């Protein structure tokens, strides 16, 4: 059929349609989403925020978007099982950073674990090595440009990287980590140190200690892109600045 089929869970699949790189109409949602993020402090439950984020000043106290719902840790792997490009964020000694990563994979169910490949040149990797914690989050079509920007600029040479990329961060109580607003899913991870793998293969293993998703696109333990705003679709990296947006669901007959 020539359609790449990606297993999500059970007998449900999402194909990758022959869509052009996600641009155009969907991007109209970007401005709207940024507006929603700016309004976030006025809604939802109150959490303590970190102070400073790589040159980006955050309010001391602010609220989590009301759509963000906890995900059962046993289902956390499903948040990345459809193979999205993700954003990796980390914090150490008052510095926050975010990078893009396409090489991320589920590793285990219980406790849930995942792997991510982090090149030695990335500043985010250094923060993770020092703090032993990170967040994997799933960006949306509306965050196409943001994803590309955090994946091409480095905090090492660009102190205002997050601001340039339009990244807004928020906090979740009990996790001293920077969460990127506007994503569709977030996995808070504790680093399982494996110095050999990290040094030789740039391979980092994380245990997922908290998971959340935007209930408008992931609820009852599964994605439902088909009835969500298309701006929520996940990004799948091809090469350079080219991505696919996730496609239609396919269910296997019983």
Ligand X SMILES: Cc1cc2nc3c(=O)[nH]c(=O)nc-3n(C[C@H](O)[C@H](O)[C@H](O)COP(=O)(O)O)c2cc1C
Contacting residues toward ligand X, per CB under 6 A: 85, 97, 99-103, 117-119, 122-124, 148, 151-156, 161, 237
Question: Rounded to an integer, what is the distance from CA 243 to the centroid of its chain?
Answer: 15
State the nearest-atom distance from the C-beta of 253 to ligand X, in Å: 35
State the nearest-atom distance from the C-beta of 221 to ligand X, in Å: 26
State the nearest-atom distance from the C-beta of 153 to ligand X, in Å: 6
Compare residues 63 and 233 and give the one whose CB is closer to ligand X.
Answer: 233
State the nearest-atom distance from the C-beta of 107 to ligand X, in Å: 15
Compare residues 4 and 61 and give the one whose CB is closer to ligand X.
Answer: 4
Q: For residue 226, which phi and psi values (nearest 5 degrees)?
A: -65, -25
From residue 131, alpha-carbon distances to 3, 33, 90, 91, 149 in Å are 41, 30, 8, 7, 24
Going by the DSSP 8-state scheme, the letter that residue 205 receives in this structure is: E
From residue 40, alpha-carbon distances to 64, 159, 236 in Å are 7, 25, 27
Query: What is the chain's alpha carbon radius of gyration, rounded to the nearest angstrom?
Result: 17
State the nearest-atom distance from the C-beta of 213 to ligand X, in Å: 21
Distance CA 214, CA 2 (A): 31
Compare residues 63 and 91 and give the one whose CB is closer to ligand X.
Answer: 91
Ramachandran quadrant class, 214 (left: phi over 0; alpha: psi -120 to 50; beta: rest) = beta
Contact (Cβ atoms closer than 8 angstroms) between residue 176 and residue 50: yes
Compare residues 97 and 137 and give the one whose CB is closer to ligand X.
Answer: 97
Q: Which among 248, 245, 252, 249 is positioned nearest to 84, based on CA atoms?
A: 245
Closest chain position to ligand X (CB): 151
Compare residues 2 and 240 and give the one whose CB is closer to ligand X.
Answer: 240
């Amino acid at each position: 059929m020539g359609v790449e089929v990606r297993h999500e869970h059970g007998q449900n699949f999402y194909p990758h349609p022959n869509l052009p790189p996600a641009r155009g109409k969907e991007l109209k949602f970007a401005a709207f989403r940024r507006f929603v993020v700016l309004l976030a402090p006025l809604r939802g439950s109150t959490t303590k925020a970190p102070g400073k984020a790589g040159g980006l000043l955050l309010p001391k106290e602010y609220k989590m978007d009301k759509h963000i719902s906890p995900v059962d840790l046993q289902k956390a792997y499903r948040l990345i099982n459809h193979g999205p490009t993700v954003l990796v964020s980390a914090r150490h000694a008052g510095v926050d950073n975010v990078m893009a990563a396409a090489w991320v994979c589920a590793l285990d169910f219980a406790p849930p674990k995942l792997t991510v490949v982090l090149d030695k040149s990335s500043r985010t990797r250094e923060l993770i090595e020092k703090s032993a914690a990170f967040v994997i989050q799933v960006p949306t079509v509306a965050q196409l440009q943001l994803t590309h920007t955090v994946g091409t600029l480095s905090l090492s040479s660009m102190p205002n990287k997050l601001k340039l990329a339009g990244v807004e961060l928020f906090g979740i109580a009990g996790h001293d980590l920077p969460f990127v607003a506007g994503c569709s899913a977030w996995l808070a991870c504790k680093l399982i140190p494996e110095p050999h793998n990290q040094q030789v293969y740039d391979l980092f293993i994380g245990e997922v200690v908290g998971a959340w998703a935007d209930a408008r696109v992931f609820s009852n333990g599964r994605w439902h892109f088909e009835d969500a705003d298309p701006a929520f679709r996940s990004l799948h990296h091809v090469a350079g600045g080219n991505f696919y947006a996730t496609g239609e669901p396919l269910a296997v007959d019983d």
